[in-house]
Structure 1
Amino acid sequence: MNALSTIQARAGQLQPRIAVVLGSGWGGLTEHITDAIQIPYSELEGFPQPTVAGHSAMLWLGKIGNQAVAVMSGRKHGYETGAVDGMALPLQVLQALGCHTLVQTNAAGSLRLDMPPQSLMLVSDHINLPQRSPLVGLTGNQRFVNMVDAYDPELKQHAALIAKGQGATLFEGVYAWLLGPQFETPAEIRLVQGLGADAVGMSTVPETILARYLGLRVLALSFITNYGAGLSTEQLSHAHTLEQAQEGSAKASRLLADIIAALP
């Protein structure tokens, strides 16, 4: 049985319309899923087996508010194998399942001193610094994807209004993708700042490209876990990232759940 058939068999009458990819700091969203059905990636042919601490390997089906959702707890990163199309099949499956919107989350480093760790940032646009694409090798005109408004303006406005209504601070900025897995040097951070980025991370951009190729609307949020190298005296490490993410997970996940529940 392929992944789509497996999910459909387990979902029963549930018809997910919102797909979510959870990054570090956002795992608490699963606590807001009602009537939850959990399917390990190991049971879904072609789904990734994450090798990164802080990423589980579980697909959650259920509802957040009245929204039927399919939530991927764990993603494939380009730095794990060098390939940047590791999320292609899962997103194709979720689209075939009926999802029309992809909500992305990640942990990121801030390039702005006014956006400290524990902040939340709405992604307004991105910079694909490695210039790697998950669409390489595909054929046909559909691969020439228009990336203007890749992050849907209506969905961004919706998220900002929900945050404002709660009195929550939600920054907005440009996310720069670097392949990793090493953290950036101070010189690289200065370079990316000069290019107009507000935050930096190692995910999200390939999935956004894939989602737009598939015709999905995209909303993305970053959890700020640290300042970029050279902007503070903190010692960067994955353990530090996870510690910061865990500390702010409840706040981030609560806001995310409210945003999803009220999606237009």
Structure 2
Amino acid sequence: MDQKLIKEASNFIQEKLSVKPTLGLILGSGLGVLGEEIENPTKISYKDIPHFPESTVSGHKGQLVIGTLEGKQVIAMQGRFHYYEGYTMQQVTFPVRVMKELGIDSIIVTNAAGGINETFEPGNLMVIADHINNMGSNPLIGPNDDQLGARFPDMSKVYDREYIELAVNSAKELGLEIQQGVYVGNTGPVYETPAEVRMLRTLGGDAVGMSTVPEVIVAGHAGIRVLGISCISNMAAGILDQPLTHQEVIETTEQVREDFLRFVKKIIANIPN
């Protein structure tokens, strides 16, 4: 990844800010509502930022929102980029590089996911304990810039253990039942077949989606602390006898929005400065 491009994008954003954000938020399908909770917001459309891709998926606003949330200075992506949109892995993860350049040291990555674990139900919130990269690619393939991160980064604790514990305790404070599990990243854009879901369950997956893994890999490479949260928006293929649709994903995230907002805001309030 060319540092010149990262700096040009971050400089463009920095010029519009009066605050220095330290916490990044990536808001997945139907979950961008959290961005509306940010106080004194500065909003920047992706299409205006040098070298930024544009979000093409319904339910993704396609803008950065920077401001204050629960006393923390945050920068939120209302909508993300996906490998299936035709972008390279480096383009998908470019915003994470830019966040690091802006001074972000922690990031909360959210997504809507299909439930593989048959004890899950649509509307559950799952804290990601680990992931399986089933995308057939990796954003770190290619020459490594040692200034951005190590050639062979350790991924054994890429989902920060302290943040997982903090999330669990935040849920307890709210009286909110949450799940923990392994997120499987597939390329999409098709939903999985029933046979693929059975395979992923055998491999240890609890939820499956089409994002998150590339961004988390790059965050780990950059030394950013990560917390991942999935909204289980539907049960994966073959569990229920009904077709899967993107509309169902959006509708479920709408239904769970209050719990999602309370949960993430409590986590942000509890994250040490």
Partner Cα distance (1:30, 1:54) in 2: 13
Say whether 1:125 aligns with 2:133: no
Q: Give 1:140 shift.
A: 5.5
Say whether 1:198 aligns with 2:206: yes
Q: Which moved more, 1:114-123 or 1:140-149?
A: 140-149
Over 4 Å off, 4+ runs:
none
Q: Give 1:47 shift.
A: 1.6
Matched residue SS, 1:257 = helix
Which one of the candidate residues 19, 23, 26 is aligned to 2:28?
Answer: 23
Which one of the candidate residues 4, 12, 19 is aligned to 2:10?
Answer: 4
Partner Cα distance (1:249, 1:138) in 2: 41
- Would the alpha carbon gap of residues 3 and 130 (structure 1) be closer, same or farther in structure 2, given more than 3 Å must change? closer
- Cα deviation 1:80-120 (Å, max 9, x = unaligned): 11622223321111111110011100000001222100000
Q: Give 1:207 shift.
A: 0.2
Q: Give 1:137 shift.
A: 0.9
Partner Cα distance (1:57, 1:203) in 2: 15
Say whether 1:167 aligns with 2:172: no
Does structure 2 conserve the Cα–Cα contact (< 8 Å) formed by 1:48 and 1:57?
Answer: no
Does structure 1 conserve the Cα–Cα contact (< 8 Å) formed by 2:41 and 2:66?
Answer: yes
Consecutive unaligned residues of structure 2, counting only runs of 5 or more, are: 1-6
Partner Cα distance (1:117, 1:25) in 2: 14
Partner Cα distance (1:148, 1:109) in 2: 24
- Cα deviation 1:145-185 (Å, max 9, x = unaligned): 11001100000000110001110011000001111100000
Matched residue SS, 2:44 = strand
Matched residue SS, 1:60 = strand
Does structure 1 conserve the Cα–Cα contact (< 8 Å) formed by 2:32 and 2:79?
Answer: no
Partner Cα distance (1:245, 1:233) in 2: 21
Q: Pairwise mapping of residues 1-264 of structure 1 onto structure 2 (< 5 A)? A: 2-12=8-18, 14-81=19-86, 83-139=88-144, 142-264=150-272
Q: Which moved more, 1:189-198 or 1:87-96?
A: 87-96
Does structure 1 conserve the Cα–Cα contact (< 8 Å) formed by 2:132 and 2:183?
Answer: yes
Count of residue correspondences:
263
TM-score normalized by the length of structure 2: 0.93
TM-score normalized by the length of structure 1: 0.96
Q: Which moved more, 1:176-185 or 1:107-116?
A: 107-116
Does structure 1 conserve the Cα–Cα contact (< 8 Å) formed by 2:30 and 2:60?
Answer: no
Matched residue SS, 1:106 = strand
Consecutive unaligned residues of structure 1, counting only runs of 5 or more, are: none
For residue 3 of structure 2, what is the aligned residue in structure 1? none
Identity, % of aligned pairs? 38
Amino acid at match of 1:257: K
